[in-house]
Structure 1
Amino acid sequence: MNDLPDRLRELLLDAGYTIDGVRERLGEVAATALSREETVPALRATRDGDLLGTLIRLWWLGVPVDAPAGLPVADLAAAGLVTAEAGRIASTVHLQPWETGGYVVSDRKVRPGDPALRKDHVVGAGGASANLAQLASRRPVERALDLGTGCGVQVLHLADRAREIVATDVNPRALELARLSWALSGIKGVDARQGSLFDPVADDRFDLIVSNPPFVISPGGRFTYRESGFEADGFCRDLVRLAPRFLAPAGTCQLLANWLHVDGEDWRDRVGGWLTGTGCDGWVVQRDVQDPAEYVELWLRDAAEQGTSRYRELYDDWLGWFASMNVTGVGFGWITMHDSGSLDPVVRVEEFGQRVELPVGGYVDGVLDSIARAHRLADAELPGARLALADGVLEERIGPPGAEDPARIILRQTRGLRRTAQVGTVEAALAGVCDGEYPLDPLLAAIAELTGENPDDLRAKALEALRPLIAEGFFNISTG
């Protein structure tokens, strides 16, 4: 029995039960439908009875199958992963291949008509899990913490860049299934601890903390995998305020969060206030915002409560609770904190919904560095700075055909966060000549001579306009 995960992993790999194998076996139509939780096309695509199709039906679609040859049914049943009767088996868990090449074990997916979720339900890896994995820094670290590990998916991503990993969860069932996820993925030595927030790691420090926490904002903590029972968005607030105590010097914390939009209050002030006083540099990005009705529908649908007898009551209570707090919307996004050791930490709060280059973790450290450098560069130092246009920045000029001067000049990033910025002719001219070789001052003097502008006026306006462009990564400060 101790070698069951190894034997099962070998069988799954031999059968082609991998991300690519499942996608190829299902075909584009069925795979796309399955991403919408529509199973009929996938059931049609797997009805031939071959081993891979049978495994997809058993582990992913959750339907009973005839026991395939070679599957250790007795051992799986003893481990509580399947039930067996008269040659037919049914899964008691959801087992899915993951993009790292490993496997993730969770409770079965809940679909309309299924029984109500158990309070300690362990949700599988999905969009939020993938989102956090894409955000997390790729730099190698000594110690990493996965706070609220759930089914253990973030550990699969941390395993190749952290020498030591601690994973925590308040739900003992989550830790049980996470251990199975790690064993099936060939990952050993994870230190799993039970408890809420940072209680299990009270005396520890980490170079990297990641968390996909129970951020759902609801009137009560009905399901531990998504709701904390804290008032409003207080759980994410407290998580942000506590995290710096557990960061090693130069450590980073990255998490997903929800926050309230309240009538008469700027959400940027609300979330930015969470980071004020932490002593860390911070970067908050709102990726989406939903009105209260959209938000409630999303999470009632998540628990397969649409169409149930309690649906309208739950919906009405949730909306009434939001109304009592003057909530106009709920934001979703990323929060990154970095212990830079600076006595002058900077917090940037922004919103963008455009597509970004993935993984963000491949360049997130550079984003933080740009924000910090732009903030800490003294006014007296900026004229002597040597700037270089960042890779992948293009210039667009927009105006009537044949016009001598454009109506607008836009710098556009084709890499990273793919920001755009409308700039003036001076900044555009600098973008054309800045290569890190010369300080800004003589370049600005040359542009003033060419344009006939007053050198002092041009210099003052240009330096003011350049600081946000440095913060947003259009220009790099050259070290050469």
Structure 2
Amino acid sequence: MNDLLGRLRGLLLDTGYTIDGVRGRLGDVAATALSREETIPALRATAGGDPLAALIRLWWLGATLEAREVPAALPVEELAVAGLVTVEGGRVAAAVHLQPWETDGAGGYVVSDRKVRPGDPALRPDHVVGAGGASANLAQLASRRPVGRALDLGTGCGVQVLHLDGRAEEITATDVNPRALELARLSWALSGITGVDARRGSLFDPVEDERFDLIVSNPPFVISPAGRFTYRESGFHADGFCRDLVRLAPRHLAPGGTCHLLANWLHVGGEDWRDRVGGWLTGTGCDGWAVQRDVQDPAEYVELWLRDAAEQGAARHRELYDDWLGWFEAENVTGIGFGWITLHDSGSLDPVVRVEEYGRPVELPVGGYVDEVLGAVATAHRLTDAELLGATLVVAEGVLEERVGPPGAEDPARIVLRQTAGLRRSATVGTVEAALAGACDGDYPLDPLLAAIAELTGEDHDDLRTKAPAALRPLIAEGFFHISTG
């Protein structure tokens, strides 16, 4: 099998079945349509019969190839014995979905069950979904620091391992679904990755007494009344799986370790969702950062996941929709949040938790600066007023100042600091903070700068010293100012 997969990998690479190769072969129109799950433009674009077109039709589009269309180098009989294709009447069809996948390194391949589209048979309960938007989001979130031991919890088709390879010395991957582990091993072999320790089990059961420097998880976070599909639903009540994942993760983090996961959480009538999610993080002993990137009402949410399983328009569509909505109503659910959660074992006896809603575009990958985000939040929380007044601040690179007001006005109606990198936040500030943004270049501590501003403006220095820490802490936590260590 390993020899077969090695030869298949070589054929895929030689033929140009890579992210760039597929994009180039499809063209912009077909590639964009395919991102909407519309296959007809891609089928038209690959009607030429060349080897790359044939591989795209077979592995990505799920089309059946006539014997004359099959590339001569494709070992069809061996692939059929391995269960990767089926052959009937000389026609060849893929038994799996095989797609190229882009990483920070050389990239690789992801093997999953075939994509389900409207009109296809119902999904099998142990269906293994391929890599998609959620997979890419988690990969973009994870810290880029090299680590010793990494854990991919709920590996699915194995895509996160492709991103961890070369960054972690040891990789362990777990999943409750044995079929997922089977296809993940194919993904790793076709991507040239060896040595992954794959284990079966739920949550942290397979790694009961072990600790890791980095944990990543794209878990089965979908909130539904019944766990019908293992790839998306845990069978836990409501959002209990994500809650337990957050609470258990710190037990498996090595000192200084970090956990990144995607999650869904409920918005319940009469309850602030921030208190709900913040309650998951409080008491973990870790610094925590939870970000809500999107929120849907119950009907939108049900429709999304019925489409995901190609159940819109199916015989049971109305029944499933009605039951799901009824369950949400019984649970007093007003919305469902989508987002990410990061935990960091900083070793502090005073861990800090930040829960926020942030739906605007950010610089990718977040993992390139997520450690700095966590550090800024912790620094702003832990510095005393006296330490802050004695600290030397530096304005973050790429911060711009905008002044808004009527034409000809002597003073602006509003001053905004705006980040052009990282999370690209903006903050409305007062004249003192704006003056500090222009003066904090790392040469002088904060207190002498406040004295200079007081002298220039006629304000009371002691009053500025009293007010400045409270005004600056949010700006430090959000990355507008850094504490100079030089």
Give TM-score scaled by structure 2 length. Answer: 0.98
- 1-structure distance, mates of 2:388, 2:23: 52
> Aligned with 1:380: secondary structure?
helix
Q: Which residue of 2 aligns with 1:95?
A: 98
Of 293, 299, 304, which aligns to 1:298? 304
Residues 418-461 of structure 1 deviation map (CA, whole Å, 9 limit, x = unaligned): 00000000000000010112110000000001000111112222
Q: In the alignment, what sits opposite 1:85?
A: 88
Q: Which residue of 1 aligns with 2:367?
A: 361
* Amino acid aligned to 2:336: V
Aligned to 1:25: 25
Could you give the per-residue CA deviations for residues 160-217 of structure 1, whole angstroms, max 9, x where no partner exists?
1000000000000000000000000000000000000000000110000000000000
Cα separation, 1, equivalents of 2:418 and 2:203: 40
Q: 2:469 is paired with a residue of what secondary structure?
A: helix
Alpha-carbon separation, structure 1, partners of 2:88 and 2:353: 59
Kindly indicate whether residue 326 of structure 2 is the aligned counterpart of residue 323 of structure 1: no
Superposed displacement of residue 2, structure 1: 2.9
Question: What is the CA–CA distance in structure 2 between the aligned matches of 1:455 and 1:202, rounded to whole Å?
Answer: 57
* More deviation, 214-223/65-74: 65-74
1:76 aligns with 2:82: no
Aligned counterpart for 2:378 among listed residues 369, 372, 376: 372
The 2-side partners of 1:279 and 1:233 are apart by 21
Report the counterpart of residue 104 of structure 1 in structure 2.
110
Structure 2 partner of 1:474: 480
Using the alignment, how far apart are the partners of 2:448 and 2:88 within structure 1?
83
Please state if 1:385 is matched with 2:388. no
Task: Give 2:434's aligned residue.
Answer: 428
Q: Is 1:219 equivalent to 2:225 in the alignment?
A: yes
Aligned to 2:405: 399
Structure 1 residues 143-152 or 432-441, which shifts more? 432-441
Distance 1:462 1:374 in 2: 13
Contact 2:172 2:198 in 1 (8 A): yes
Percentage of identical aligned residues:
84
Matches within 5 A, 1:7-406: 7-66=7-66, 67-100=70-103, 101-406=107-412
Letter in 2 for 1:68: P
AA aligned to 2:86 is T
User: Aligned partners of 1:461, 1:294: CA distance in 2, in Å?
Assistant: 45
Instruction: Please give the secondary structure, in 2, of the residue aligned with 1:3.
Output: helix
- 2:343, 2:354 → 1: CA distance? 10
Structure 2 distance, partners of 1:420, 1:112, is 42
Distance 1:455 1:437 in 2: 20
Matching residue's letter, 2:210 = D
Q: CA deviation at 1:463?
A: 1.9
Deviates more, 1:83-92 or 1:133-142: 83-92
* Paired residue total: 480
**AA at the equivalent of 1:110:** V
| Cα deviation 1:367-407 (Å, max 9, x = unaligned) | 00000000000122111010000000000000001100000
1:148 Cα deviation after fit: 0.1
Report the residue type matching 2:99 in the other structure. Answer: Q
Rounded Cα–Cα distance in structure 2 between residues aligned with 1:143 and 1:463: 39
Cα-to-partner distance string for 1:1-37 (whole Å, 9 max, x where unaligned): 4311110011011111000110110010000000000
Q: Secondary structure of the residue that 2:355 maps to in structure 1? A: strand
Unaligned 5+ segments in structure 2 are none
**Segments of 4+ moved more than 6 angstroms:** none
Task: Tell me the amino acid that sits aligned with residue 29 of structure 1.
Answer: V
CA–CA distance in structure 2, aligned partners of residues 203 and 451 of structure 1:
61
| Structure-2 separation of matches of 1:23 and 1:193 | 35
TM-score (structure 1 length as normaliser): 0.99
